Amino acid sequence: MKRHIFLPLLTYPDATSESMITNAIMLARHMQATLTVCAVEITIPDVSNALSSLIIDAARMAREAGALSRKHASTLTQKAVDEARTASVDLRTRAIKVEEPFVVDALAEASRAYDLVLLELTGLSRPIVEAVLFGSGRPLILYPPAPFGGRIDHIAVAWDGSRAAARAAHDASVFLEQASKVWLLSVTDEKPVTHETGDYLIENLLKSGVTAEATRLRAHGKPVGEVLQSKAFELRADLLVMGGFGHSRLREFVLGGATEAVLTSITLPVLLSH
């Protein structure tokens, strides 16, 4: 069955980079998947009043922000159309218009219609990343703001035997099945890890024709997310697969340590699943 990938094109206050569009198109070509790019046009509510208008022209600022968002939406969509045509990728375009405070909810909902979501990690995109990860029910690949080739051949899977790790490995099966090498990375000194399930997973991968092996690491007090990324980078993995862990407390998400580290800084594409 053909896979369907979803790339939101953020337009305000920072726009999605052109390198992220290239990354998405190269991945879609590698997967022979359909890519849908969705330009997110924002509107700013007019909250001006008599007092604020004496200090700043809030209505004018809102109009300018909206115009900038529309300009970015048009430019990025055309960039995607042109690159997809060159790469012979099946591209679909759509747009959503939403008030700025509701962008995160709108994208979490829009993502639910697709098999995989792609996002770029920047400081201002983190609320959207969290909303999609925990609210869409879909896996996402998070990219650093840099160009990457579309081919995913070597894969590192963060494994601690948990439900989140198992879910992430399952959601990455489309990549694992085609990989030439898979490593299961387990950090042994951060919390108790049941290795038996990981051994069975490797056995299943080997029986499916995938070359896989277990790699056990020690964090020595370093953040687990950093240790996993560092090892994956050392192994020249094209993708790190991780379960995203978080739970709601007082309407705020409290993230697991490894998830927090990944949502703060990444050095390679990371597939996250919750």
Q: For each successive 10 residues of the chain (274 residues), what is the average pLDDT?
A: 95 92 97 97 70 61 84 96 98 94 93 97 86 93 90 94 91 95 90 81 94 92 88 95 65 55 83 92
Phi then psi for residue 220, to 5 deg, are 55, 40
* CATH value of 4-143 in 3.40.50.620, 3.40.50.300, 3.30.70.270, 3.30.450.40: 3.40.50.620
pLDDT at position 126? 85
Non-local (6+) Cβ contacts of 112 within 8 A are 136, 137, 138
pLDDT at residue 210, as a whole number: 94
Q: Can you give the residue ranges of every domain in the chain?
A: 4-143, 154-273
Q: What is the pLDDT of residue 113?
A: 97
The residue among 32, 27, 24, 29 whose CA lies nearest residue 1 is 32
CATH superfamily of 154-273: HUPs (3.40.50.620)
Whole-Å CA distances, 99 to 42, 70, 96: 5, 13, 10
Residue 253 confidence (pLDDT): 43
Angle at 125 between CA 159 and CA 63, to 5 degrees: 165
Is 96:11 a contact under the CB 8 Å cutoff?
A: no
